[in-house]
Structures are given as C-alpha cells and as structure tokens.
C-alpha cells in the first residue's frame, strides 16, 4: 500500500518545517517498515487525519484492530509515548507495545506509536455543544495526575516562553496586534509569578481530541504533554467551536459564561483560566498570521479581545 500523507498533514507540517527537514519524504518508507516489523494488515490511512502525524488503521496478526501513528520529531512523539504510558489508559488511548531492543530504537527515530483502536470518525465534537463540553471536561479531569518522578516533560513556563518570543516577533511584524500581545504577555507573567502545583497535562486538548471508545465512552488522543497548572490545559477547551462563537450575536457573553462554568465544574480558578485563555488565543492568532492563515487569525484575535 502507498502511504500517501493526507494534504491536511502536508499543509500543516509545511507551515512549521525547519530548513532541511525531510520527514515527509521519508514517511512512506518509515510507515512500510513499521507495518512489516509488526506484521500488520493495513486497512486505510485516516483522512483528513491530524495536522501533526500520519494515522493508519491496521489490524495486528491476531486480527485485533489498532492504530499505527507516525509523527515527526518536532511533534515530540517520545513525550507522547511517555505520557500515554504514565496514564495507562485512564482517560486516554492505550499504547499497544510489541517491539523491543533495536526495533524499539528505530520506532523512536521514526516517531512510531501503536495504539488501541478507537472510533476515529466519532469525536465528542459530534455532540450538542453543552454535552460536548461536559464530556470533554470530564475526560480532561482524569488526565490531571502527578507527573512521574524525574520526568523530562516540558513545563508550561518553558513552552510559553518559546511562544512568547515568537509573539513578540509577530507583534513587530503585525503592529495591529501589539495591544493584544502586550495583554497576553502581561497575563503570562502574572500567572507564572505564583503558579499552583504542577500536574501532567494533555497540552493540546480540545473536543476533536476526544474519541469514542470501547473500554470507556470517551478517551483522549494526541497529547503534546506538558507539566503545569490545570488552567493552562482547560484554556484551549474554552475556545472550542470559536467560529460558532464569533458568528453568534451573544458570542462574547457566551465566552465569559463558558469560562465561569468550566472553571467551576473543574475547580479551577476563574481568573487564571481567563488569563491562560487569553494568552493561548493570542499566541495561536499571531502564529496564524505568521503562516498566512488570515481568517483563522481574525477569529482567534477577535475572541481574545472578548477576554
């Protein structure tokens, strides 16, 4: 089978690829190697798939369904593997391990993960909005655990520090967003001044990252794990379905109610949630501007202005 990466993946990785990166070109060969090593039967490549990895629906030699995932180094697949292993299937998709030694080292180099099969076309986003938020929040709560001793996960301070540098550069190039960037950076500085106890976080959580499963009704997939306060993780959920919020005459009021409702339901400080929601929305908006996604940037920055 030809492992042709979906166009969504090609476009997304093209926006962030460092000079000289050849991961996409090597992807078909890496996928073939991973399939042969495990004696998998390929059903299909998931389309449109994600923006950071190739997802292939497969069956193991015993006929059981699974998912083969390949991700580039900049998507931190080793961190994803470590987080999934630590969660052990509680609230998140399970790892299916069957390689060791040199083969495991090759897996690490190619960014290969073999995962339990969920229902890839059924996410919590398919539910009515209120129910979707409730189920997503419940799933997220189960992931907030103590990180493993001696962990090497990135911290919220480290990740947002890199993002803050890029935002400052963006503010210089796109002067119209300078005010929002200043507000977002100010919020970050205040939040990091007195952070609560750190937890292992999903890192990129949203409704589309919660899929229907067999073991449990809903399970999270695709973490980019980070250690920090829960409000940082929850902040991305606040702006889910942002296009619907922007289109609604009551979008600003709905957003403020959502911040309050999610903070109360998950016992998160409301002002800290508002601050991280502001930072993450502005960061995403400036990044969208930088790569030429003007419509996405407009939605995100208008949303940020409501906070």
Does any domain span residue 2? no
Sign for the CA dihedral angle at 243, 249, 250, 256 comes to positive
Name the residue with higher pLDDT: 4 or 240.
Answer: 240
Question: Per residue in 28-54, is it b (16+ CB within 10 Å) or e — as a string?
Answer: bebbebbbeebebeeeebbeebbbbbb
Domain endpoint, select from 117, 142, 162: 117
Pair 181, 36 in one domain? no
pLDDT at 44 (0 to 100): 93
Reference 239, options 289, 285, 183; nearest CA is: 285
Pair 142, 205 in one domain? yes
Reference 271, options 247, 217, 235; nearest CA is: 235
3-state secondary structure of 269: coil
**Residue 285, domain CATH:** 3.90.1200.10
Pair 300, 218 in one domain? yes
Average pLDDT across the chain, whole number: 91
Pair 295, 162 in one domain? yes
Reference 53, options 246, 167, 204, 191; nearest CA is: 204
Write out pLDDT tens, residues 70-81. 999 888 999 999
Pair 113, 131 in one domain? no
Pair 18, 143 in one domain? no
Write out pLDDT tens, residues 199-213. 999 999 999 999 999
Domain endpoint, select from 79, 100, 117: 117
Q: How many domains does the chain have?
A: 2
Provide the residue range defining the domain that includes 220: 124-305
Asked if the model's pLDDT at residue 251 lies above 60, the reply is: yes
Q: What is the pTM of this model?
A: 0.92
Write out pLDDT tens, residues 253-264. 999 999 999 999
Does any domain span residue 1? no
Residue 224: DSSP 8-state: -
Pair 229, 266 in one domain? yes
Name the residue with higher pLDDT: 10 or 219.
Answer: 219
pLDDT at 4 (0 to 100): 82
Asked if the model's pLDDT at residue 105 lies above 60, the reply is: no
Domain endpoint, select from 117, 140, 163: 117
């Amino acid at each position: 089978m030809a492992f042709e990466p979906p166009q969504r993946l090609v476009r997304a990785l093209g926006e962030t690829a460092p000079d000289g990166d050849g991961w996409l070109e090597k992807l078909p060969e890496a996928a073939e190697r991973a399939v042969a090593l495990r004696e998998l039967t390929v059903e299909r490549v998931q389309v449109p798939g994600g923006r950071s990895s190739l997802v292939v629906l497969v069956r193991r030699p015993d006929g059981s369904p699974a998912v083969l995932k390949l991700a580039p180094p900049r998507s931190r697949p080793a961190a994803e593997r470590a987080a999934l292993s630590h969660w052990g299937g509680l609230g998140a998709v399970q790892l299916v391990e069957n390689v060791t030694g040199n083969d495991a080292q090759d897996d690490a180099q190619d960014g290969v993960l073999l995962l339990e099969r969920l229902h890839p076309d059924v996410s919590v986003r398919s539910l009515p909005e209120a129910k979707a938020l409730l189920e997503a929040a419940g799933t997220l709560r189960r992931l907030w655990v103590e990180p493993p001793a001696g962990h090497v996960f990135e911290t919220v301070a480290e990740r947002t520090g890199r993002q803050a540098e890029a935002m400052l550069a963006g503010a210089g190039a796109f002067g119209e967003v300078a005010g929002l960037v200043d507000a977002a950076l100010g919020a970050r500085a205040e939040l990091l001044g007195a952070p609560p106890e750190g937890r292992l976080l999903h890192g990129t959580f949203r409704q589309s990252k919660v899929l229907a499963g067999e073991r449990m009704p809903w399970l999270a997939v695709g973490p980019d794990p980070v250690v920090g306060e829960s409000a940082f993780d929850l902040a991305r959920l606040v702006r889910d379905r942002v296009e619907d919020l922007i289109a609604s005459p009551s979008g600003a009021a709905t957003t403020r109610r959502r911040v309050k409702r999610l903070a109360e339901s998950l016992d998160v400080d409301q002002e800290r949630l508002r601050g991280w929601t502001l930072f993450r929305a502005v960061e995403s908006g400036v990044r969208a501007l930088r790569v030429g996604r003007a419509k996405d940037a407009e939605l995100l920055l208008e949303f940020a202005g409501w906070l």
